[in-house]
A = this chain, B = another copy of it.
């Protein structure tokens, strides 16, 4: 948890302010740290994997032949074009934002772990994702902040598990003073 959670409004130089909306939402967040409970499971919806986007993402960030060149990819280890694993992570992030982070008092993430690209994700696939709350704890040093550890699972249209990861989210607390 290396991120410096002392930066920005709400740090020592400011009086303790309860609902600061320091995540800059335009309205009150629906979900604070307290709204995530261990064992919660929810769908994050689905997303179609677009070929042009697979190629464009990889041309910018991961220009290996099996991500950007359809003919070379056919001759490759993967027998066809596959999405960069980072593109899959980015798509999952978008599903997170659309399904819950957009309405939450999210303060970003200090990190993720155990990212596993289990099966190729290919243009034309439809991926869907689920989230599971593994742990929650209040920050020791910052009374206004809580940490949520989640596991995300990504499946393709055939029900195959194509990617998993775990990670931490920081959220404003609704009741910073509570135990």
Contact = CB atoms under 8 A, between A and B. Distances in A.
A106 to B, nearest CB: 6
Interface in A61-111: 61-66, 69, 72-73, 75-79, 82, 84-86, 89-91, 93-94, 97, 101-102, 106-111
A148 to B, nearest CB: 15
A42 interface: no
A38 interface: no
Question: What number of copies of this chain does the assembly contain?
Answer: 2
A73 to B, nearest CB: 7
Interface of A: 2-4, 7-10, 22-25, 57, 60-66, 69, 72-73, 75-79, 82, 84-86, 89-91, 93-94, 97, 101-102, 106-120, 167
